[in-house]
Structure 1
Amino acid sequence: MDQPLISVVIPAYQHAASLPGCLESVFAQQNVRTEIIVVDDGSTDGTLEVLEPYKAKGVRVIHQENQGANPARNRGLAEATGEYVIVLDADIIMRPTMLCDFLAQLQAHPEASYAYGSFYFGWKHFHGVPFSAERLRCMNFVHTSALVRRADHPGFDPAIKRFQDWDVWLTMLERGKTGVLVPGTYFLARIDGKSRIGSSWLPSFVYRLPWKYVGWKPMRVAKYEAAREAIKQKHKL
């Protein structure tokens, strides 16, 4: 029996330098069938030129005017045809067994809608924890790049500029959809100097620290707190 198709959606904006590494890690995936869709969100750094040779390898490249991360993600989701989908940040390097291990966990747990694992963000190791609806309502612990049953993916709210991943998992939770942890560390998110405060997967101890120990400036803290409050209000937490 053929393996089910996995759609790998990669939104990209000014990621000419990091895309080759990301794509090569997709090509290196073991024992899975994939379609690769890269959505270039109006890059001006030569991203399209970098992607040109990959078209011959089956990568589908979609170019659109700059609209932001969530519209780019949604464009890729709309074009996806696989039974499963992963929205992969362009700065990620996956372990070769990531997709097949995530797929196996979902097949073993038909009650779960998505699978996720531990990862590195630069030198920081973010340890995955078993799925808990109660914990998810308090803080995010699932990275955007989880493997999701495509029929269950709600898409990304264009109005949400930070905590986009948390918003997705909370929306799914409200629809009765849950996740499952895959033990192990599966990818590296490389740090390229761009702010990643919009991502909400922070270790739980950060939420209990005085902000001066986190090293964030007051304005950044204020934006972080405002974004977190917007998610809480949207989902009535």
Structure 2
Amino acid sequence: MNVSIVIPTYNAAHVLPEAIDSVLAQTFTDWELLVIDDGSTDHTQEVVKAYNDDRLKLIYQTNRGVSSARNHGAMRSQGELIAFLDADDRWLPNKLSVHVEFMNSHPNVQVSFARVEFLTVDGIPTNKLTNCPLTNLSAADFLYLNPTVTTSNVVIKRELFEKLQGFDQAINYSEDIELLFRGMQNYDAIIEGIDQVLVRYRVHNTGLSSTLYRMEEGWHKLIEKARTLNPELVSQHYPSAYASYLQYLARQTLRLKSPAAIGVDFVNRAFKSDRTFIFKQPKFLLISIAVYLKFFLSQFKTANDF
């Protein structure tokens, strides 16, 4: 199997070399790399043109968003497998060799992914790893969580990607989950994980509450699309799935040091969506305590400032 790699990039010239270098360092060498410049205004073009490797192609498009850029790259590619890598993430050197071997030995698997290690915003490994389920995944699982964590972790067979007609360009923040849900729902796609860390994912500390609310909006678009495909499944799982996603957003407010009231908003609405969720996910209790404690401490500090 040969592999097409698609890197969508927008004004990421300062980190893009790390992503490209991680591709060039792959022990598996039968690949092509398509860097899709989504209308960047920085020196992205110069960064890519500095590389001297015939396997690397630079394609420019006017700014249309990351899903459009990924679809454009996939459409222009030729590999049997398509692997995506975001401009600010990195692969370990054996990433492609492990995936190709896995897909060859598991011919029924149409999408594979692996464990992920988180990086700081400065690109420093944290030794914090994902522990999402790897096997026996169902379409319903993708309503609750994203087992792949990041699109940089997804390797998909071209045949399936073309059947799906790529990412839904109207969805942001949950476009990868929607693609995989659609694959399982419409084509009974088999998606399996590999119990090795093969991707390093950079976590950005923007701290913007607006970003978290846009993520929630993206999740709702995923649900709207899923409802058209399987309304009964969505109706059955929606209360708990929404509570689960709100729990995730509440946890992000702690990590991003967002205003305490934003975290309380997410926790309160999670309780409202499914009052039994705290028994299904005991860690939600710990997250709720942390969020409320942060809120009350901020209120106490504000009162003392007057």
Structures share fold, TM-score greater than 0.5:
yes
Within 5 Å, which residues of 2 pair with 1:1-237?
Answer: 4-122=1-119, 123=126, 124-131=128-135, 132-133=137-138, 134-142=140-148, 143-145=150-152, 146-153=154-161, 154=164, 155-174=166-185, 175-191=187-203, 217=209, 219-236=210-227, 237=234
Query: Any conservation in 1 of the 2:134–2:147 contact (CA below 8 Å)?
Result: no
Give the aligned residue type for 2:200.
L
| Partner Cα separation in structure 1 for residue 134 and residue 102 of structure 2 | 13
Calculate the TM-score normalised by the size of structure 2: 0.65
Aligned-partner Cα distance in 2 for 1:220–1:9: 25
Query: What do residues 160-190 of structure 1 show as CA deviations (whole Å, max 9, x unaligned)?
Result: 0221110111111112112111111111122
SS at structure 1 position matched to 2:14? coil
Q: Supply the AA of the counterpart residue of 2:86.
A: D
Relative distance call for 1:31 and 1:51 in structure 2 (3 A) is closer
Relative to its length, the structure with more helix (as a share) is 2
Q: Decide which moves more: 28-37 or 138-147.
A: 138-147
The whole-number CA distance in structure 2 between the counterparts of 1:35 and 1:227 is 31
- Whichever residue aligns with residue 144 of structure 1, its letter is T
- Answer whether contact 2:4 2:78 (CA < 8 A) is retained: yes
Does the CA contact (< 8 Å) of 2:31 and 2:55 recur in 1? no
Rounded to whole Å, the distance in 1 between the matches of 2:98 and 2:147 is 19
- Structure 2: distance between partners of 1:225 and 1:57: 41
Query: Aligned partner of 2:131: which letter?
Result: H
1:225 shift after superposition: 2.9
Q: What CA distance in whole angstroms lies between the structure 1 residues aligned with 2:43 and 2:211?
A: 30
Task: Answer yes or no: is the 8 Å Cα contact 2:175–2:222 preserved in 1.
Answer: no
**Structure 2 contact 10–39 (Cα < 8 Å) conserved:** yes
Counterparts of 1:93 and 1:224, CA distance in 2: 23
Task: Describe the SS at the equivalent of 2:19.
Answer: helix
Q: d(CA) in 2 for partners of 1:73 and 1:107?
A: 24
**Structure with larger Rg:** 2
CA positional deviation for 1:85: 0.7
Structure 1 position 101, deviation (Å): 0.5
Report the secondary structure of 1:120's partner residue.
strand
CA distance in 2, matches of 1:102, 1:78: 21
Q: Distance in 1 between matches of 2:132 and 2:101?
A: 17
Task: Give the whole-Å Cα distance in 2 for the aligned partners of 1:181 and 1:96.
Answer: 18
Q: Is the 8 A contact 2:174 2:215 kept in 1?
A: no
Give the residue type in structure 2 aligned to 1:108.
S
Distance 1:221 1:17, change over 3 A: closer
Q: 1:185 to 1:46 in 2, by over 3 A?
A: same
Identity of aligned residues (%): 27
Q: Which amino acid aligns with 2:147?
A: F
Alignment partners' CA distance in 2, 1:61 and 1:221: 32
- Please state whether the residue corresponding to 2:74 is helix, strand or coil: helix
Aligned residues: 213
Q: Report the AA paired with residue 9 of structure 1.
A: V
Structure 1: tracts of 5 or more residues without a match = 196-214
1:139, distance to aligned residue in structure 2 (A): 2.1
Q: Structure 1's 223 and 42: CA in aligned 2 closer, same or farther, altered over 3 A?
A: closer
Moved more, 76-85 or 22-31: 22-31
Q: Secondary structure at the match of 1:67?
A: coil
Give the letter for the 2:189 counterpart. Answer: K
